[in-house]
Amino acid sequence: MSTEPAVRPRDFETFFSGSYSRVLAQVIMLCGSRADAEDVTQEAFVEAYRAWERIAGYELPEAWVYRVAVQRLWKTQRRRRTGEQRLPDVPVPVQAGPEQSAEAREVLRLLAALPPRQRTTMVLFCLHGWSQSEIAKALRMTRGGVAANVSKARRTLREALDMSADETIGGRDPFLGGAEPGRLGRVDVSRIGLGRDPVDAALRDTESWLRAALQADPERLGRARAEVARRVEERG
């Protein structure tokens, strides 16, 4: 999840307004399709609304919503073949330069072309800090399978973005193996996610660009909230 400081929401409306764009951007990174991401994100917020009395007291209710969205998305994504996802239809952020936008769109294109297992495990592990065990449990995979898929996905992005092996931590990919976050072999995982690894940095920069792109759509929040309300009313 995001490393931004958590703000305890006072009510569901405040929570929705403050977290919808973040969750949607994170889910788009997982699937490459804005339409699919909007559907599962809105469904996750419907569940949050129905369980609000309980989850409002959680330290990170946004993390709960994201996990629900991940599980819903995985049920559909794993049945799809590579390359079926399309680039998300989002406006270019006003503050983003042409080079930044081109790089972000290229990363999104590469993510969309990955097999679902590789894309999902890499985003959850490298971008949102889920442990191999957490991913394995959520996706019903083995820890070894998670590690192998993360490593393959990172290698694909590294080669496609013309990053040499020397640019990664210690000149090698530390993710292939059974180590858990905290220590990966002799590599301190605290270094990962702090801008020192180019693959992780590319993922973070792309998510930030995507979030800004979504926020550039002034009507997005109202449409999403109306759709969530419609689904809630429909189900009683």
Instruction: Name the average pLDDT for the chain.
Output: 80
> Which of 25, 126, 98 is CA-nearest to residue 66?
25
Q: Inform me whether the pLDDT recorded for 46 exceeds 90.
A: yes
> pLDDT grade, residue 175 (50/70/90)?
low
- Is-contact 55 110, C-beta < 8 A? no
- Is-contact 154 124, C-beta < 8 A? no
* pLDDT score for 171: 45
* pLDDT score for 164: 61
> Which of 77, 68, 89, 108 is CA-nearest to residue 208?
108
- Is-contact 121 142, C-beta < 8 A? no
* pLDDT score for 33: 82
Q: Inform me whether the pLDDT recorded for 170 exceeds 50.
A: no
> pLDDT grade, residue 190 (50/70/90)?
very low
Q: Inform me whether the pLDDT recorded for 150 exceeds 70.
A: yes
* pLDDT score for 215: 84
pLDDT digits (tens, 9 = 90+) for 77-116: 755 554 445 556 666 666 778 888 889 989 998 998 899 9
* pLDDT score for 140: 92
pLDDT digits (tens, 9 = 90+) for 13-39: 999 999 999 999 999 999 878 888 999
How many Cβ atoms sit within 10 Å of the Cβ of residue 236?
4
Kindly report the pTM of this predicted structure. Answer: 0.79
Q: Which residues have C-beta within 8 Å of that of residue 91, sequence separation ≥ 6?
A: 213, 216, 217
Alpha-carbon span 58 to 217, nearest angstrom: 30
pLDDT digits (tens, 9 = 90+) for 112-147: 889 999 999 999 999 999 999 999 999 999 999 999
**Which of 48-52, 93-97, 124-128, 191-195 is least confident?**
191-195
